[in-house]
Amino acid sequence: MSLAKRVPIFLLRLLALGATVTATVIMVTAHDSAQVLNMTFEAKYTNSPTSKYFVIINAVASGYTLIVIFCPSKISLLRCLLVLDMIVTLLLDSSISANLAIGQVGKYGNAHAGWLPICNQVPKFCDHVTEALIAGFVASLAYFVILLYSFHNVFNLLTVKP
């Protein structure tokens, strides 16, 4: 693949790396506590399996992106890379959706199920989760564009070939 085609993907991977590392760090350091009925209620990412999943997937995506950026990619690896990129995109998409769903209950609650919102008690934690979700979304979007661009390049190879 020519250098001109590699640069946009390289930049997108850098963006994705920054976003997944940011999402992981913000989520892991998110912490707030509140006094409810004389009991201290602590909010942190380990309280919910969804947040733990989000942290794991973003950390894995960071590691994967780092490896891909610094390892020279051969044309023979293109097929394998495309599949791995797709899996990472799906995992990021899944972790954001799950975390967003729980965040929505945290913010608005669910009156039908009797689940009360918690964001008014631990606003700092909720702000951090929102920031982590935005970073995760940026990473997911970067990977989506990487996939689209890779498709585009592969199809162009098809049409350019004599």
Applying CB under 8 A, the residues found at the interface with its own copies are 41-43, 47-50, 78-79, 82-83, 86, 89-90, 93-102, 104-106, 110, 112-116, 118, 144, 147-148, 151, 154-155, 157-158, 161-162
- The Cα 27–Cα 132 span in angstroms is 6
- Closer Cβ to its own copies, 3 or 113, answer by number: 113
- The Cα 132–Cα 139 span in angstroms is 11
Give the DSSP H/E element, type plus range, for residue 48: none
- Closer Cβ to its own copies, 69 or 82, answer by number: 82
- The Cα 85–Cα 38 span in angstroms is 49
Quote the least distance from Cβ 99 to its own copies, whole Å. 7
Quote the least distance from Cβ 102 to its own copies, whole Å. 5
User: Longest C-alpha distance within the chain, in Å?
Assistant: 76
